[in-house]
Chains A and B, each alone.
Chain A
Amino acid sequence: MLCQICKKKEATIMITQVIGGEKTELHLCKDCATLFGDKFSIISFPQFNLDDLLSGLLKAFDLYSQEEGRMTAGEIKCSNCGLTYQDFMQTGKLGCSICYQDFRGQLLPLLRRLHGNSEHIGKVPLQAKNKLDKINQIKRLRQELQEVVIKEDYERAAQIRDEILKLEGVTKKKDAK
């Protein structure tokens, strides 16, 4: 049988996926399998879409954790939207932004596998940036507070304490909105 991707070389590797009870088989040559099977790279094959691949991978992860004797992750539920990890494994889609916190333990290895690196270094939205700036400023002031207390500069300490309270007040008010 010829490889279903390059249609030139002999297919030596078979990838079987079970999605929603339906079994699909993909016959690939060694080169195409290394290229497309492992890297999640897609060349416009309707039967080979990213969602299917993702849910295949998710199942493999779950199987792996079962083999290790751990409890299956499928039962974990998002505290905000109620989506279970099982739902995520079936569709490859999370339910809301809070899912990222509640499924963090399961998601981190997946993100590492998908993106190679699991920390964002790109753009930060303005609102989040302002909040982050404030948190960092409070952190700096707390450090300074410790230093001036050691130096017994209580006048400066009182000033810093007021600044921190002011900043925290603003942050909290914004959160309450």
Chain B
Amino acid sequence: MPSNNSKFWLKNLARSSAEWINGCGPLSEVVVSSRIRLARNIEAIPFPHWAKEEDLKNIYEVMQQLAQENIIFRKFKLLLLNNFTPLELQFLVEKHLISLYQANGKHPYRGCLYNQEETACIMINEEDHLRIQYILSGLQLKKIWGSINQIDNEIGKTVNYAFSEKEGYLTSCPTNVGTGMRASVMLHLPALVRLNRLNEILKAIAKIGYVVRGFYGEGTEVMGNLFQISNQITLGLSEEEIIDNLEKVSRQIIEQEEKARRDLLKDFKNYLEDQIWRAYGILSQARIISSVEAMELLSKLRLGVELKIVSQINLELINRIMLMLQPAYLQILAQKNLNASERDIQRAKLIREKINPMNN
């Protein structure tokens, strides 16, 4: 339920971590996380960008009631985003609980209903009335589909979804119509980047209707060799086909990345080890570090962990640092506003403390 004491849940969210952080999912040497989101709207009510305030309120309240009454949402929390500061909203984006679109939205009654494990999250009054998303670590698209499908069915018992036999689920933007489904995987591809083999692969992916994006999805930059691959086509394919295809594409890229890693190890083992340990050295000693540099070095360290060259660190720690070093997360942790140079100092301090907990 929406808490009046936003400091309370904010503190909680700064301390808690999502399931995908644990880095234990299948094929997590390359796949950081898998995600599915479904775009859903309610029949005949104008889409959020075109709706009146009372429509938005109505939708928010329907979800509020559902969250209170339906047992499936027992462990969910509902946030009303109206009164959140830009920093708090940015923090939720960095935690992958809301989208950039949801954070930048101007209309009232934007909400976020998320579960304790931070695997499931329903954005209310985003671009569509509802955006249901589910994230797990590693390559687990089928499992995610099972869980998100169940949540979707439960909501569908209460609300009358906008749906047509021919066009499927009707969405605010025609690029999402049909299944309303966007399935994606976050891949760590340092070896393919290093050996300049990625462009060829990306070309092939685009030709079969898949898209590559940055760390936060649409319109964001690629950082730390992390690439998000997702389906572009949502109409004329079933949900299972979309998932199957994405999984096949992912497995092929994983295979290529693993091959590239073997090639690197074969031909440039000393160089590679040097790069990884240097990254470790800088991260554990730096006093000032930008997010771009930190992400680059963390990518090298992650590769070191994935190749079992570095054993004193695990993927969970790297995922956790990667999240916490972001601008809003840093400021929420510090409980004060920090300018860019203050953040670089704070970031270096946080990374040192996480990487060598004994020395600090």
Contact = CB atoms under 8 A, between A and B. Distances in A.
Contact of A44 (B44, B199, B219): B219
5 contacts: A39-B232, A83-B46, A96-B44, A116-B233, A121-B237
B179 interface: yes
A115 to B, nearest CB: 4
Contacts, number: 161
B219 A116 contact: no
A98 to B, nearest CB: 6
Interface stretch (B1-9, B158-166, B313-321): B158-166
Nearest to B50: A95
A30 to B, nearest CB: 13
Chain A interface SS verdict (over half)? loop
Q: Which 5 A-B pairs have the closest CB atoms?
A: A117-B236, A120-B168, A97-B162, A115-B235, A44-B214
A118 B235 contact: yes
A54 interface: yes
A107 interface: yes
Chain B, interface size category, equals 35 or more
A119 interface: yes
A127 B161 CA distance: 8
B207 to A, nearest CB: 7
Contact of B238 (A45, A97, A122, A126): A122
Interface string B229-247: 0001111111100000000
Nearest to B179: A122
Contact of A126 (B157, B162, B207, B239): B157
Contact of A97 (B41, B178, B218): B41
A112 to B, nearest CB: 9
Contacts of B175: 40, 50, 54, 114
Interface string B302-326: 0000000000000000000000000
